């Protein structure tokens, strides 16, 4: 769901809080080294990728994440130097905060869409679709009632089904009702 840049920005904001310029410089160097290592592993044959087999991460995505982390750590180091910050404070990082807000908004939207989709699926499981063959005279009466009420025959039958009750002796009964 998240791009390598999103993953990198979130990690840097989380890990960078309270780090001084020297510590951020160390993070830049580490990210550069890890970026180089993952890129080098991608250039080698598939057999040498066995070192990454234990990871659940795609080696190409892992390399992209480290490239993005390297870029983000460099951005933070430049920002700290430009602003003269002794330590990195994510809440003061305007661009980083904008990105985090967009990411949170996107996540909330995705969670809402997922919840709506799950509810739709649950509702669909609870629904019943039936094909009903009625004798000609019953069909004509149903169509006449539907025409008078402005509903479809299917809507009339659905409303009728809502009023059906099972009696103690197993018979089905529906009391008088007005289609709505």
pTM for this one? Answer: 0.59
Condensed to tens digits (0 to 9), the pLDDT of residues 6-16 reads 999 999 999 99
pLDDT at 57: 63
Rg value, the chain, Cα? 31
- Helical ranges in the chain per DSSP H: 4-16, 21-43, 59-83, 94-126, 136-149, 153-163
Cβ neighbours of residue 139 closer than 8 Å, sequence gap 6 or more: 153
Q: Say which residue, 46 or 24, is predicted with more confidence.
A: 24
Contact 16/92 with Cβ under 8 angstroms? no
Q: CB count, 10 Å around CB of 69? A: 25
Q: DSSP for 134-180? A: --HHHHHHHHHHHHHHT--HHHHHHHHHHHEEE-TTS-EEE------
Q: Which 3 state secondary structure label does DSSP give 138?
A: helix
Distance CA 143, CA 154 (A): 10
CA 128 from centre of chain = 29
Condensed to tens digits (0 to 9), the pLDDT of residues 125-165 reads 877 778 889 999 999 999 999 999 999 999 999 899 889 99
Condensed to tens digits (0 to 9), the pLDDT of residues 68-80 reads 999 999 999 999 9
């Amino acid at each position: 769901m998240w791009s390598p840049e999103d993953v990198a920005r979130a990690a840097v904001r989380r890990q960078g809080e309270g780090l001084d310029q020297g510590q951020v410089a160390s993070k830049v160097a580490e990210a550069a080294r890890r970026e180089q290592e993952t890129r080098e592993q991608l250039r080698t044959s598939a057999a040498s990728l066995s070192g990454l087999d234990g990871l659940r991460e795609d080696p190409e995505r892992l390399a992209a994440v480290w490239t993005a982390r390297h870029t983000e750590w460099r951005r933070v180091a430049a920002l700290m130097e430009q602003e003269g910050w002794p330590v990195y404070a994510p809440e003061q990082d305007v661009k980083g905060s904008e990105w985090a807000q967009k990411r949170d908004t996107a996540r909330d939207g995705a969670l809402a869409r997922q919840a709506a989709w799950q509810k739709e699926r649950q509702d669909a499981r609870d629904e019943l679709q039936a094909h009903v063959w009625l004798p000609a005279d019953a069909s004509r009466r149903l169509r006449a009632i539907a025409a008078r009420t402005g509903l479809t025959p299917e809507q009339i039958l659905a409303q009728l089904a809502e009023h059906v009750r099972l009696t103690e002796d197993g018979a089905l009964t529906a009391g008088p009702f007005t289609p709505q």
